[in-house]
Structure 1
Amino acid sequence: MTEPATWDPAADAESALDSALAVVGMSGRFPGAPDLDAYWTNLRDGVCSIADFTEAELLADGAEPSEVRGPDHVPAKGYLADADRFDAELFGFHRTEAAALDPQHRLLLQTAWAALEDAGHDPLAAPTRTGVYVGGSPTEHMLAAHTDRRLAASIGAMQIRILTDREFLAPWISYRLGLEGPSLTVQTACSTSLTAVHLAAQALLLGECDTALAGGVSVDTVRKQGYVHYEGGIFSSDGRCRPFDERAGGTVPGSGVGVVVLRRLSDALADGDPIRAVLRGSALTNDGATKVGFTAPGVEQQTAAIVEAWSAAGLAPSAAQYVETHGTATELGDRIELAAATEAFRGDGQGVGAETPAGTGTGTGTGTRIGIGSVKSNIGHLDAAAGVASLIKAVLMLEHATLAPTVNVTGPHPELGLDASPFRVVDRAAPWPSPAAGPRRAGVSSLGIGGTNVHVVLEEAPPRPGTTDAAAPRRTEILPLSARTESALAALAGRLATALRAPGAPSLADTAHTLRTGRTPMDVRAYVLASDTEEAAERLTALAEGRSPYAAQGSPDEAGLRGLGELWLKGGTVLWPAGPAGARRVSLPTYPFAGESFGALTLARRTEDAQDAPAPAAPGDDLTRAVSELLAEALGLEGPAGPETTYFAAGGDSLTAVHLVGRLRDDFGIDVPITLFLEELTLHELADRIVESKETGEDSLDALLSEFEAE
């Protein structure tokens, strides 16, 4: 085996500090956890969020009875509730597009929005040069869409690809949020999302962007669905994942989504960003041919990834107090991962033994060994989103100074040799004391089928004095809120009230500064005036409960702020007062997405065939009506278009125009000049002009293609 690289503190320390990055925002949805507060509560409390389905639930969601009732069927999964819900209008999708858009795209768009809000940035006015690095998994929806002739006839094959293929995950985020940095969809199988974090980190260090979104999503199906266990396969026989445990028997599939926002640490400190953790270093390797098979893991390059990441951080691996492992609970995977980690953590000269135990002085609170764990025991294996789920878990543990347990474990697997390693499995929640030799630090590993190994080094955020209410002169602040609906506004007010009552709540000045500068103004609006966080929480609660938050706000010194508030309520653009000196962005509750269910296409219920394709409308007196119906179908209009609604106002774009040109030619024999769709015509006028153009015979599709080539 190749000797691991050695650590040279003198050479690496200064450059490592210069290359440190900050995690300034996070958002995610995981099994049993609609947000990160619930995620942390479940992790801390040792909750297993893997769902067990009844036969009735599986059959109702389209499962085959013969499969469900088979002896090897396991009715369990890390299930993501409401994965088909989407606030389509907020992201500019009409109903037809939203229904065709893959649930992974929908979830990732909303999670990216929330992550930027968590970082204290308006998602539609993000910092310049913001990059996007994300990846996803194959989905049932995508497969069903590409074989759905009726859908192809409705919106066109090219539009189906753009709305469902995972290669467009990153570009949709960049387009809908107006982000002009690099935009990469990453694919390295199970290590996809942590690879995305590594690539985002490298881009920040190279100056390719100044802010980066990184993460991943995996929703293979929105249905409640179990799996079939095969002897010797990777899936558990009992629906539970037990990494490193004596009863370990495989993993359990799961769904989820997570995104982090990264900036250079120096920039984050200078700009007053909320810093949730520091990313000190990362590394990426591939096993190449140094393993027994393509899907098998390899020791040597897993070791190299760990050593290189800690070297990039300017630290020895033994500086870690905890390592969040890939930890699939498969016999081969756990054994090789532990062997690789042991080699890496022994390689810095710490060793393991009675006189020089590994991790000495790390202060983990339960002996000298480095704690290890795997979130897969809680939520299952999230495939492309597995790495970011692990990363977010580690950040939350650093924030709360608490080690969260790996669940479903009873004792170490005897063949792993844990007693001879530097590690111990964390099997119960415990305080994470501050080490004597520096801040709390953790490593995070993610390994992909095909051999791509990633390791990331995290460190707790540096202490930062906040703008506290006690330290600042008492002054009234205005807290503006907005949402798309009244119910969303009430939910947002309630969540903010809860956050301001929590221990360690942000100051009123920082809260007001973040709400005024870090949120996208929407149509449904409210505001609250308050002089301290307690008063703000009371008035926000009143707003959430449908009571007026303005009743007792009539003092003369509030008159100017009330005038700004009334302008805000009327939808005007408000020049908010400057915050006090030192006011900074803080992490606050993000937008309460609660869009309607747009469902998902499934293979289990597909019965349509060629005869399902819509029949061409009859020509004649009904031609204008038929063309109007075609326009409405392509634009996702539920009813007749308003008299002033134009093609672009209804959500039309160039791709929809390409599709309509083809449909008009195929169904009605009408060649439409492409310039027709570029004119400011109402849909009624457009339908009339299309019918009139039947007489011209102009080859509009050729004209359109020529125009695209010219561009």
Structure 2
Amino acid sequence: MSDIAIVGIGCHYAGGIESPETFWDLVANKRDGVRDIPPERWDWRRFYDADKRTPAYMYVKRGAFLHSDPWAFDPDFFGISPREAAGMDPQQRLVLQTAWEAFDDAGIAGRISGSSLGAYIGAFTTDQMGLVSTPQLAPYFDMHTAGSASYTMISNRLSYVLNLVGPAITVDTACSSSLVAFHLACQGIANGDCEMAIAGGVNVMAQPQTFVMMCKGGFLATDGRSKAFDAAADGYGRGEGVGMVVLKKLDAAQRDGDRIYAVVKATGSNQDGRTTAITVPNADLQEQLAKEVAQRAGISPHDITYVEAHGTGTPVGDPLELQAIGHAYGAVDGRVEPLGVGSVKTQLGHTEAASGIASVIKAALAISHRTLPPQYWLETPNPDIAFDELNLRLQLDAEPIDPQIEPVTIAVNGFGYGGTNAHVILQEYQPPQHTKGNGHARTPRHYGVLPISARSEQAVRDLARGFVERIASGTDPGWLAEAAWTRRNHHPYRTGFPFTDHTDLVQGLMEFAEGAGPINRTVTSKAAEPVFVFTGMGPQWWAMARGLLEAEGA
């Protein structure tokens, strides 16, 4: 497989994550996304009983829930009627919104209609289907109901709405769904099925019955938290969210001048086969897959810098997974220090179909920041894990990566409770030798005006607030203006901010975000060919360009 670049990221997870920047902020600063089940979903007291044996009740009252409303959606932005949107699975809504944000992050939003771009999305839970398929709601079924909760539509609606003609595939391998989707997307690009792809996964916890089922299966932790690699691990804590990444061949990303978060060196997937029970992992097959993917990538096991593990926090799964990782990457020839491992599930919960892509995003951001990402929660390391023997250590604090380590290489491991495993190796992007070290040597073109546009007045003001945050985080206003002009899609509600220095621009954006200043409403249409405009004022002679106007094809 030729190298593939991650050029765009979109994400919404618990803890207020709404962008790659807020994702990294939560991870690096070890903040927590787990909370009580919010009352706007359901009153947990109606379904809760601490006694695990009580039928029809769950012994969990916490989880990693989104701060935003999954049902909040602007259907007009995507050309969907309000009537159809009213019954849409919130997972479809989140995928549409987050895919657009990922495309925007990649600088191609609004410019991909008709392109050979594949959509590979992981999905697992069927909460929406359970909500709409009750007999009481049967009289309200309409022409949109059948497609409102179908797995098929999670990927296919994205392709339909944005007019994408590459493969559209929804993948369900349970907890490894989005990592398998990522693997298939890379294969699709390598095989020529699509020029680019968007890969990810989504999970929304919309009803208590799914919690009840998982509790009766004994899968969930009593405190609602995934305590990965801890002695207190007693099951996983559920989480919800969506993550999407934009993929394209590395040489194409270099050609187009894309920002490259990380390079995909190799991916792979296999199955556990027959184990002691269908939900029990197979350490030998996980180890075999990791070794195969590393060999496929042409990377020596001791060159892996860090492993982002699945790390559900189950008493069976954690020791088996780290046994596999230790044998594949830790206790190997050439490694002089223990290999750091961790799991983002301690912060975001186990987001099931969206968990693998959360791990990919964490790994890609760690690479781009050249920082080993910390694990949030640990009290006592699991005594059933032989850390010293496996030459592994839990990465409990953020740690800058030694400058002598080049390139940074991170492996991502994932497995589903039905036995489907997936593995990915990401590496730091290193520019070609003749440009290496130049960074942003090129100065941005001096546009002098920062354009802001959206499809509603409030969205324009919200975007202005987001630009303030980007500048505050260190983004150069000149680069921001160039990107806004050349890589963002331009919408009907718009305004612009002339600027000469950082302070004036930030002040103007903040005032505008709070409601000051007008917003222009324009209607524009793109012409297929160049248009020449002659105003009639100041031509060199009367009737200048009339011949051009009358010429065939003009």
Q: TM-score, normalization: structure 2?
A: 0.86
Which residue number in structure 1 is paired with residue 448 of structure 2?
A: 477
The structure 1 residue matched to 2:457, chosen from 469, 486, 492, is 486
Q: Secondary structure at the match of 2:7?
A: strand
Asked if 1:288 is matched to 2:276, the reply is no
Amino acid at match of 2:451: P
Q: Check whether the contact 2:464–2:510 (CA below 8 A) recurs between aligned residues.
A: yes
Partners of 1:151 and 1:573 in 2: CA distance: 43
Question: How far 1:545 sits from its partner (Å)?
Answer: 3.1
Give the equivalent residue in structure 1 for 2:531. Answer: none
User: Are positions 1:169 and 2:143 aligned together?
Assistant: no
How many angstroms does 1:130 deviate by?
A: 0.9
Q: Unaligned 5+ residue runs, structure 2?
A: 53-58, 528-554
Q: How far is 1:432 from its partner?
A: 2.4
Contact 2:265 2:427 in 1 (8 A): yes
Q: What residue ranges of structure 1 are gaps of 5+ in the alignment?
A: 1-15, 351-355, 361-367, 550-565, 576-711
CA contact (8 A) 2:326 2:391 kept: yes
Structure 1 residue 404: Cα displacement: 2.4
Letter in 1 for 2:30: G
Distance 2:23 2:446 in 1: 35
Partner in structure 2 of residue 692 of structure 1: none
Counterpart in 2 of 1:522?
491
Which structure: larger Rg? Answer: 1
Pick closer, same or farther for the CA change 1:152–1:276 going to 2, 3 Å.
farther
In the aligned structure 1, how far is the partner of 2:156 from the partner of 2:79? Answer: 15
Residue among 369, 386, 390 paired with 1:421: 390
Does 1:133 find its partner at 2:101? no
2:540 is matched with: none
Counterparts of 1:108 and 1:260, CA distance in 2: 11
SS at match of 1:500: helix
- Give the C-alpha shift of residue 145 in structure 1: 1.4
Q: In the superposition, relative to structure 1, how do residues 407 and 475 fare at CA in structure 2: closer, same or farther (>3 Å)?
A: closer
Instruction: Tell me how large the CA RMSD over aligned residues is.
Output: 2.7
Structure 1 residues 153 and 263: CA distance shift in structure 2, 3 A: same
- Per-residue deviation, 1:110: 0.4
Q: 1:473 to 1:265 in 2, by over 3 A?
A: closer
State the shift of 1:228 in Å. Answer: 8.2
Q: Which residue number in structure 1 is paired with residue 14 of structure 2?
A: 31
Which whole-Å CA distance do the structure 1 matches of 2:254 and 2:139 have between them?
50
CA–CA distance in structure 2, aligned partners of residues 229 and 206 of structure 1? 38
- Alignment counterpart, residue 184 of structure 1, candidates 158, 169, 188: 169
Answer whether contact 1:240 1:251 (CA < 8 A) is retained. Answer: yes
Matched positions, count: 514
What's the counterpart of residue 48 of structure 2?
68
* Range moving further from structure 2, 483-492 or 395-404: 395-404
Q: Which amino acid aligns with 1:572?
A: T
Instruction: Give the Å deviation of 1:251.
Output: 0.8
1:83 is the counterpart of 2:70:
yes
Report the counterpart of residue 535 of structure 2 in structure 1: none
State the one-letter code of the partner of 1:482: S
For residues 340 and 114 of structure 2, the distance between their equivalents in structure 1, rounded to whole angstroms, comes to 37
Q: 1:137 to 1:548 in 2, by over 3 A?
A: same
- Residue 259 (str. 1) matches residue 244 (str. 2): yes
Secondary structure of the structure 2 residue equivalent to 1:125: coil
Decide whether aligned partners of structure 1 residues 111 and 151 sit closer, same or farther in structure 2, where only a CA change above 3 A counts.
farther
Candidates 475, 479, 502, aligned match of 2:473 = 502
Once residues 205 and 572 of structure 1 are traced to their aligned partners in structure 2, the CA distance between those partners, rounded to angstroms, is 38
Could you list the per-position Cα deviations for residues 666-687 of structure 1 after superposition, in whole angstroms to 9, with x for gaps in the alignment?
A: xxxxxxxxxxxxxxxxxxxxxx
Go from structure 1 to structure 2 and tell me whether the alpha carbon gap of 1:328 and 1:190 turns closer, same or farther (over 3 Å shift): same
CA contact (8 A) 1:188 1:195 kept: yes
Cα gap change, 1:69/1:502 in structure 2, threshold over 3 Å: closer, same or farther? Answer: same
Report Cα offsets for 1:615-655 as digits up to 9, x if no partner. xxxxxxxxxxxxxxxxxxxxxxxxxxxxxxxxxxxxxxxxx
Choose the corresponding residue for 1:571, options 518, 523, 535.
523
SS of the counterpart of 1:184? strand
Distance 1:147 1:237, change over 3 A: closer
AA at the equivalent of 1:61: W
Pairwise CA distance, 1:69: 4.2
Q: Quick one: which amino acid aligns to residue 66 of structure 2?
A: L
Structure 2 equivalent of residue 21 of structure 1 = 4
Q: Which amino acid aligns with 1:88?
A: P
Secondary structure at 2:316's aligned position in 1? helix
Judged with a 3 Å threshold, the aligned counterparts in structure 2 of structure 1 residues 474 and 93 are, in CA distance, closer, same or farther, namely closer
Residues 475, 377 of structure 1: CA spacing in aligned structure 2 closer, same or farther, 3 A cutoff?
closer
> How many Å apart are 1:486 and its aligned residue?
1.3
User: Matched residues, percent identical?
Assistant: 33
Cα shift readout 1:32-64 (whole Å, capped 9, x = no counterpart) = 12313222212111122111248xx38x82556
Give the conservation status (yes or no) of the 8 Å contact 1:124–1:177: no
1:216 is paired with a residue whose SS is strand
Q: Residues of 1 paired with 2:297 and 2:476: CA distance?
A: 30
